[in-house]
Amino acid sequence: MSEENAIPVIEDQPEAAAIEIPHEAGRDLDMTTHTHQIAPTQFVDAKGIHFAYRRFGKAAGVPLVFNMHFTGTMDHWDPLVTDGFAKDREVILFDNAGISSSSGEVPTSVERMAANALAFIRALGLSQVDVLGFSLGGLVAQELTLAAPDLVRRLVLVGTGPRSGESMASLTPEPQKIFGATYDPPDHLWLSVFFTPSEASQAAGRAWLSRFRRRTEGRDPEVNESVAPAQLEALARWGAPRANPFDYLKAIHQPTIVINGHNDVIVYTIYSYILQQNIPNAQLILYPDANHGSQYQYPERFVRHVSMFLSEEGA
């Protein structure tokens, strides 16, 4: 599609020029001075969508593209995770179509979300990326990999699961309760979604929330009210029962790492095991006393494990 091969349109923000500097391995580019907190929001157009993104880190090797969870924006990533990766590689955060600073509509299928993510990546002129997806973002990452196997070098699936299966078609009882409650302040919702009730996990959660709130300038607006219904419809379609639901995973030939908490109540942990058992070249890591957001509970450990995986020799 011609839109997917369009030349990147870099807009109005003066910092955006940083990505036009040619990539030279070992050279300390302006981009490397950016971090999660100060990386400017930039824009690129593809498929008629005005995609908001941030790009920072060491301009060497294959960039790592982050795919966000249900109702999340670029500001929902953990700076310890993104900056942790940014020490050794480029990190690309973006809002998919219809989310926060990006224009367009949220599609009601994961496949179309993946098509939009793909259009965004191609619009940046990238020929190879590593893809990380968390929760709903992990579904998008799977479909993106199946749709563009030559583009995706390695795959990182966090707190996510396969097509079909009990908790994929509709929310499990736990999130129905968690998302149905009210929180003051509202972002305390995430303490229940991402962390276990243990004292240690809740303390890690509060530390994560304070990191998560730290960016104040150029913050992404929260998503509007049309996002959740569309994403839920896409989840329901993805999770619909079908015959041999896990067979499609055999077609993911990329080296893959699957990571989750020991007791994910949002996308049950057993689905991480099922992903690993069905993707031909997949490693699994499960962290103790952790729920859906294990990577925010153990950010340094997560970055080390995934960095080891991304830097391994061979296919």
Which residues make up the interface to a copy of itself (CB under 8 A)? 255, 262-263, 269-270, 273, 276-277, 280-289, 301, 304-305, 308, 312
Q: Comparing C-alpha atoms, which of 125, 74, 109 is closest to residue 232?
A: 109
CB count, 10 Å around CB of 233? 14
Q: How far is the CB of 126 from a copy of itself (least distance, A)?
A: 26
Residue 97 or 156: which CB sits closer to a copy of itself? 156
Residue 80 or 124: which CB sits closer to a copy of itself? 80
Q: Comparing C-alpha atoms, which of 109, 76, 115 is closest to residue 93?
A: 76
Q: Comparing C-alpha atoms, which of 33, 134, 149 is closest to residue 93?
A: 134
Tell me how far apart the alpha carbons of residues 65 and 88 are, in angstroms, rounded to a whole number: 14
Q: How far is the CB of 282 from a copy of itself (least distance, A)?
A: 5
Q: How far is the CB of 296 from a copy of itself (least distance, A)?
A: 16
List, as own/partner pairs, every contact residues 26-31 make where C-beta atoms lie below 8 angstroms and the sequence separation is at least 24, other chains included: 26/60, 27/59, 29/59, 31/55, 31/56, 31/57, 31/59, 31/90
Alpha helices in 181-222 (DSSP H): 189-194, 199-212
Tell me how far apart the alpha carbons of residues 176 and 167 are, in angstroms, rounded to a whole number: 11
Q: How far is the CB of 85 from a copy of itself (least distance, A)?
A: 17
| Contact in structure between 264 and 159 (CB atoms under 8 Å) | yes
Q: How far is the CB of 241 from a copy of itself (least distance, A)?
A: 23
Q: How far is the CB of 304 from a copy of itself (least distance, A)?
A: 6
Residue 98 or 261: which CB sits closer to a copy of itself? 261
CB count, 10 Å around CB of 9? 13
Residue 174 or 289: which CB sits closer to a copy of itself? 289
Residue 108 or 263: which CB sits closer to a copy of itself? 263
Query: Does the CA dihedral 123-154-238-232 come out positive or negative?
Result: negative
Polymer length in residues for the chain: 315
| Contact in structure between 256 and 250 (CB atoms under 8 Å) | no
First to last CA, the chain: 29
Q: How far is the CB of 55 from a copy of itself (least distance, A)?
A: 29
SS3 content of the chain, % helix, strand, coil (to 5): 40, 15, 45
Q: How far is the CB of 21 from a copy of itself (least distance, A)?
A: 34
Residue 90 or 289: which CB sits closer to a copy of itself? 289
Residue 207 or 284: which CB sits closer to a copy of itself? 284
Residue 6 or 284: which CB sits closer to a copy of itself? 284
Q: How far is the CB of 314 from a copy of itself (least distance, A)?
A: 9
Residue 121 or 152: which CB sits closer to a copy of itself? 152
CB count, 10 Å around CB of 265? 19
